[in-house]
């Protein structure tokens, strides 16, 4: 009888024992315990009634699962509808809002990348410098080259390609691998700026065409020179990103977000400023000037300046702020990939209209 009673108690205890959550529920009472700079932290601020949040939930659980056993990453979530003080503290205005806290810092940065599990996992992996846990295959944004695809990718005159020639046994190559993965993730949405690698030990005949004699050797193959140019700058992720932005004409940051200059057309900025600082009844001349400049402009985004000017004339100066806020709310929703880039570029242009 006593044995049966004890067995029942044990079963009850197992039933009531809390299971470890893959995504940590953060509140005002425990937030500082988890997000204190000791680890890289990625946090979703959500509301239970939010449709976008509900759609994100399964993907976010996958993210939590991927880093469940990590000693250096926290994946958390805050019900900002009930924890209004936390939401207010971090400037949360819409749901879901995703922010990350680099290791060593308690100051958040906005995450504006894709909203799939793969997008977020790749971002956290690159930013935190850790390996993905609990997934069948590690996610990589570095293109694996071989003799079959080398010419199609590297020698494509529509692409600028950075290539690491490496050997699996090379210690320097192993040290560079996580850095190079971070660079690949940063440029994963750039079709014309490719980060790639070739196992030069396994594919010696291909490597010998470019006189590869040591590992790692890094070469850049711009659209206009497929003989390859030696990469001779620093080997931090920031060094590579700066180099590729210069060579490819891109505006990527570490993590893959676009900088505030992405989509901006320098010779249209002055017109935007003049337009907004000129009396309403005298703006037609500036609009005509903008239309003439935008026609046939090498930057397609120049037409968006004209569109904004027309909208302002129709709806008033407040259109600029209202539209930027509207686009910001869309970014908080279920969007990813190139749609994020498109919206970010538009918001950057709208900033040029704000006096």
Q: What is the mean pLDDT of residues 44-52?
A: 92
Q: Please identify which of the residues 10, 170, 193, 248 carries the catalytic annotation.
A: 170
Known catalytic membership, residue 173: yes
Write down the pTM of the prediction.
0.64
Predicted local confidence at residue 316, as pLDDT: 95
Sequence spans of domains, the chain:
22-128, 143-248, 266-351
Q: What is the mean pLDDT of residues 227-235?
A: 95
Q: Please identify which of the residues 10, 53, 193, 248 carries the catalytic annotation.
A: 53
Q: What is the mean pLDDT of residues 257-286?
A: 94
Average pLDDT over the chain reads 88
Where does the pLDDT of residue 18 fall: very low under 50, low under 70, confident under 90, or very high at 90 and above? very low
Using alpha carbons, select from 50, 30, 49 the residue that is nearest to residue 41. 30
Where does the pLDDT of residue 5 fall: very low under 50, low under 70, confident under 90, or very high at 90 and above? very low
| Secondary structure (DSSP) of 18-60 | PPPPSSEEE-TTTHHHHSSSSSEEEEEEE-TT-HHHHHHHHHH
Whether residue 231 is predicted with pLDDT greater than 50 in this model: the reply is yes
Mean pLDDT check: name the lowest of 21-25, 84-88, 256-260: 21-25
Mean pLDDT check: name the lowest of 88-102, 103-117, 266-280: 103-117
Where does the pLDDT of residue 55 fall: very low under 50, low under 70, confident under 90, or very high at 90 and above? confident
Kindly report, residue by residue over 146-205, the tens digit of the pLDDT.
Answer: 999 999 999 999 999 999 999 999 999 999 999 999 999 999 999 999 999 999 999 999
CATH superfamily, region 22-128: Glutaredoxin (3.40.30.10)
Q: What is the mean pLDDT of residues 322-333?
A: 88
Using alpha carbons, select from 91, 219, 86 the residue that is nearest to residue 161. 219
Cα 256 to Cα 92, 145, 224, 337: the distances in Å are 22, 22, 25, 10
Whether residue 3 is predicted with pLDDT greater than 90 in this model: the reply is no
CATH superfamily, region 266-351: Endoplasmic reticulum resident protein 29, C-terminal domain (1.20.1150.12)
Domain 143-248, CATH class in plain words: alpha beta
Q: Please identify which of the residues 10, 50, 193, 248 carries the catalytic annotation.
A: 50
Q: Buried (b) or exposed (e) across 318-340, using 16+ Cβ within 10 A? A: ebbeebbeeebeebbbbbbeeeb
Known catalytic membership, residue 193: no
Hey, do 22-128 and 143-248 end up sharing a CATH topology, with the first three levels equal?
yes
CA 93/CA 339 separation, integer angstroms = 21
195 forms beta bridges with 162
> Any idea how long the chain is?
355
| Secondary structure (DSSP) of 301-348 | THHHHHHHHHHHHHH-THHHHHHHHHHHHHHTSS--THHHHHHHHHHH
Whether residue 1 is predicted with pLDDT greater than 50 in this model: the reply is no
Whether residue 136 is predicted with pLDDT greater than 80 in this model: the reply is no
Predicted local confidence at residue 113, as pLDDT: 79
Predicted local confidence at residue 140, as pLDDT: 81
Where does the pLDDT of residue 258 fall: very low under 50, low under 70, confident under 90, or very high at 90 and above? very high
């Amino acid at each position: 009888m006593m044995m049966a009673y004890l067995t029942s108690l044990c079963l009850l205890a197992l039933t009531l024992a809390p299971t470890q959550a893959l995504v940590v529920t953060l509140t005002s009472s425990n937030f500082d315990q988890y997000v204190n700079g000791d680890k890289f932290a990625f946090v979703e601020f959500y509301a239970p009634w939010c449709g976008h949040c509900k759609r994100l939930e399964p993907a976010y659980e996958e993210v939590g699962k991927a880093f469940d056993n990590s000693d250096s990453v926290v994946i958390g979530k805050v019900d900002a509808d009930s924890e209004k003080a936390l939401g207010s503290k971090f400037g949360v205005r819409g749901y879901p809002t995703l922010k990350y806290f680099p290791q060593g810092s308690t100051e958040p940065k906005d995450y504006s990348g894709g909203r799939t599990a793969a997008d977020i996992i790749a971002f956290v992996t690159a930013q935190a410098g850790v390996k993905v846990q609990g997934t069948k295959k590690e996610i990589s944004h570095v293109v694996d080259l071989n003799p079959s695809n080398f010419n199609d990718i590297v020698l494509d005159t529509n692409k600028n390609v950075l290539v690491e020639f490496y050997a699996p046994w090379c210690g320097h190559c192993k040290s560079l691998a996580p850095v190079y993965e971070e660079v690949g993730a940063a440029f994963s949405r750039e079709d014309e700026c490719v980060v790639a690698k070739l196992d030069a030990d396994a594919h010696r005949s291909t490597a010998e065409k470019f006189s590869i004699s040591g590992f790692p050797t890094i070469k850049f193959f711009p659209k206009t020179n497929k003989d390859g140019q030696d990469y001779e700058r620093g080997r931090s992720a920031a060094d590579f990103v700066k180099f590729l932005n210069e060579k490819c004409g891109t505006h990527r940051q570490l993590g893959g977000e676009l900088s505030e200059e992405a989509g901006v057309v320098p010779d249209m900025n002055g017109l935007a400023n003049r337009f907004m600082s000129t009396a309403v009844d005298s703006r037609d001349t500036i609009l005509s000037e903008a239309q003439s400049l935008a026609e046939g402009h090498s930057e397609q985004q120049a037409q968006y300046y004209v569109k904004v000017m027309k909208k302002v004339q129709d709806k008033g100066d407040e259109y600029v702020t209202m539209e930027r806020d509207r686009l910001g709310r869309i970014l908080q929703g279920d969007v990813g990939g190139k749609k994020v880039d498109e919206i970010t570029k538009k918001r950057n242009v709208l900033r040029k209209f704000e006096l």
